[in-house]
Amino acid sequence: MTGTESACRRVLVTGAAGFIGYHLARRLLHEGLEVFGFDNFNDFYPVRLKRDRHAQLEPQAGYRWLGAELADRSALAEVFRSFEPDCVVHLAAQANVRHSLVDPYTFQRSNIEGFLNVLECCRHAARRPRLLYASSSSVYGARAQQPFSEAQRTDTPISLYAATKRANELMAHAYSQLYGIQAIGVRLFTVYGPWGRPDMAYWLFAEALRQGRPITLFNRGEMRRDFTYVDDAVEGLFRCVRAGGLGRYEIFNLGSGRAEPLTALVALLARELGVAQPALELRPLPDGDVEETCASIDRLRAAVGYEPVTTLDTGVPRFAAWFKEYQGL
């Protein structure tokens, strides 16, 4: 350990069967840290994928886990009591902007009540852990300037998902002030890669290409996203777990720092999946969605030396290769 690193050895990862949680848990174990995974294995997308990810973590030395619900306060408190984490990486949440228009109460339960339970467990822990938690680029709403910087206002969310993530940042601020909990919020920007999420655009596009169906492109194809390859996201999170010298309350963007057109994603996926001329179905921008996201990553770079290395034309072939193998193509 260098003088600029924290002494963190035991990490509680909530959402460990999820896309980012699985990759982060693997990395932490690889680095020799002890990891406790917590996940309710809900069926928002196929549970088999969560089980398949998690099956790779279960046999690893240094890994323990519990299948339980964040809203179950006593189960969560017992994990804190028995494992005594010195860092909590809280990734379990109900994600997906559009789904928050359909099923708002799940967002209230997982993202508000669940987050409060995590805060309360941190507050009452014998040794207060560092809390690192996933926020989202969606907190910037539709009116922010590109690139999004942490100094911009974030009080005009346009989806309930975004509102719950912004609420998490505010709740974390209150708890850091009241109880001295070190709370680091990381605003993630469209993370993609192997073992990814079936509800996200890159997977939906790949699935449409595989089945020979048209790809639905919103805002008539005029959309740009800051796509973050999962290894870069994990590197940023890992650096936040280990870094010394962070403040008691921090907010960081974690993205690639580049906005890419969705049409570029489609072209790369089509090439990798062997579709010469993908059919497109152009639709208007749905409620809750924004035309463009692009992260300013200067703060995270300055704080922990974060530097994304994987561009879309490297990352998409890696996702596509995994997708084909997982689907048995």
| 147: preceding bond cis by omega (within 30 degrees) | yes
Q: CA 192, CA 212: separation in Å to the nearest integer?
A: 22
Candidate segments 68-76, 117-125, 237-245, 317-325, binder of ligand NAD by CB under 6 A: 68-76
SS (H, E, C) 65-127: EEECCCCCHHHHHHHHHHHCCCEEEECCCCCCCCHHHHCHHHHHHHHHHHHHHHHHHHHHCCC
Q: By CB under 6 A, is residue 236 in contact with ligand NAD?
A: no
Chain centroid to CA 138: how far?
A: 12
Closer CB to ligand NAD, 26 or 50, in the complex: 50
The token pair at 220 is: 């008539």
CB 19 within 8 A of CB 195: yes
Name the residue with the smallest CB distance to ligand NAD: 18
| Terminal-to-terminal C-alpha distance of the chain | 44
Of the residues 11, 79, 132, 136, which one makes contact with ligand NAD according to CB under 6 A: 136
Residue closest to 157 by CA, chosen among 289, 299, 306: 289
Q: By CB under 6 A, is residue 50 in contact with ligand NAD?
A: yes
Of the residues 63, 140, 161, 306, only one is catalytic, namely 161
Closer CB to ligand NAD, 275 or 311, in the complex: 311
Candidate segments 87-95, 115-123, 239-247, 259-267, binder of ligand NAD by CB under 6 A: 87-95
Q: By CB under 6 A, is residue 114 in contact with ligand NAD?
A: yes
161 is catalytic: yes
Q: Under rule CB under 6 A, which residues in 137-196 are in contact with ligand NAD?
A: 188, 190-191
Q: What residue ranges bind ligand NAD (CB under 6 A)?
A: 15, 17-21, 39-42, 50, 69-71, 91-95, 110, 114, 134, 136, 188, 190-191, 197
Could you list the active site residues? 161
